Amino acid sequence: MRLQSRSALTALLLAISLAFPAAASAAPRKAHTVYLGAAKKVPYSKAGDPSGAAPGEDSLRIRALLVDGVVKEWTTGDVHEITDRSFAVRRAMRINDALPGDNPTPAGYWVWQRGPWLLVDRATGRVSALHLPDYNPGVSQVSWFRDYAAYCGLTPSGKSLYAVVAQVAVRKPVLARKLAAFDAANQAAPACAAPDWQRDPLRIAFHPAGMNAISYDIVPGSAALVEDSGDAAAAEAGK
């Protein structure tokens, strides 16, 4: 009788596992902790930074980007919340500024500079670089709205200044219009102030140095950023 009960129980458990295979095999999703640390100042100068410091700027405020308690990147400036789980923040880079003939020093020749923008997903803990078309750290001051980034871009030749509106996760810019010729040797600083957004109608105004403001209407579209559910990342981690 006891053997029959065990056989019946085994058959019941097998039937449940076959009826609900996902529930039987699914691993619990790992929760990630993503946050920015306390701000601190680091030395920063026009001479040591190819991105270009503002007039009178001699220090840069940076914060560590931590994922699960581990420093992934250093960041600077304000955070832009794109969705309720993804945000963009600018990277702060520490660059070796030593020339081949420089004598080594205990402190080295490291300098801090502003770098490209990062996309951070709080749910998966993923940090990735944002590839903004014609973005130049020394010229482009990004103004965010939703998942749109507006800025003055510089062509690879370095000879033309463009009005650019890029959408996160879209390769081709929403807007790319030439503003003026660019001459780095004789260019006023900054070459272009941060653009201004208007909501209704959706419009962006650019402010290149020495020129009147130039506005463009933007046809609004759906957000193109696709956020992973986190299940795929959890499955990979469990392998």
Question: Count of alpha carbons within 13 Å of 203, Cβ hemisphere only?
Answer: 9
- DSSP tag of 52: -
- Rounded to whole angstroms, the Cα distance separating 28 from 234 reads 8
Name beta bridge partners: 88: 80, 119
Q: Which pLDDT score is estimated for 135?
A: 94
Q: What are the C-alpha distances in Å from 9 to residues 4, 28, 195, 224? A: 9, 26, 69, 50
Instruction: Classify the C-alpha dihedral 44-47-50-56 as positive or negative.
Output: positive
Amino acid letter for position 138 = G
- Cross-strand bridge partners of residue 224: none
Main-chain dihedrals φ then ψ at residue 220, nearest 5 degrees:
-65, 145
In the prediction, which pLDDT does 27 show? 55
What pLDDT is attached to residue 92? 93
What is the pLDDT, as a whole number, of residue 173?
94
Sign of CA dihedral 231, 232, 237, 239: positive
Q: What is the pLDDT of residue 23?
A: 47
Q: What is the pTM of this model?
A: 0.78
What are the φ and ψ backbone dihedral angles of 180, each rounded to 5 degrees?
Answer: -170, 165
As a residue count, the chain comes to 239
Token pair 């871009």: residue: 153
Amino acid sitting at position 235: A
Q: Which residues of the chain have pLDDT under 50?
A: 1-3, 22-25, 232-239
Instruction: For the chain, give every domain's residue range.
Output: 26-130, 131-225
The pLDDT, as a whole number, for residue 132 is 95
Q: CA nearest 36: which of 101, 89, 83?
A: 89
Task: Answer whether 30's CB lies under 8 Å from 237's CB.
Answer: yes
Say how many Å lie between the first and final Cα of the chain, rounded.
42
159/233 Cα distance (integer angstroms): 43
